[in-house]
């Protein structure tokens, strides 16, 4: 009986930690990745525009 209670508590704690990790990923990693994509796209566009301007 004690083992079952221990495993249940462990499982609940694990589920809570996973939930927190997922929330953290969504709240922090998603905006960061969006920012990285925007920065990368902007840099590529700027480089392309600069090269295009120099070719003329």
Handedness of CA 44, 45, 51, 54 (dihedral sign): negative
Structure tokens, 18: 């996973």
Q: pLDDT tens, position by position, for the chain (56 residues)?
A: 889 999 999 999 999 999 999 998 889 988 899 999 999 999 999 999 888 887 66
Q: Output the pLDDT for position 29.
A: 87
The residue extents of the domains of the chain are: 1-56
The predicted pLDDT at position 1 comes to: 83
Q: Look at residue 50 in the predicted model and tell me its pLDDT.
A: 87
Q: What global pTM score does this model have?
A: 0.47
Burial of 4 (0-12, 13-18, 19+ CB in 10 A): exposed
Which residue reads 């003329």 in tokens? Answer: 56
């Amino acid at each position: 009986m004690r083992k079952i209670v221990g495993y249940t508590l462990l499982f609940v704690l694990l589920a809570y930690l996973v939930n927190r990790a997922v929330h953290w990923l969504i709240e922090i990693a998603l905006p960061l990745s969006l920012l990285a994509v925007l920065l990368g796209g902007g840099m590529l566009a700027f480089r392309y525009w600069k090269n295009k301007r120099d070719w003329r």
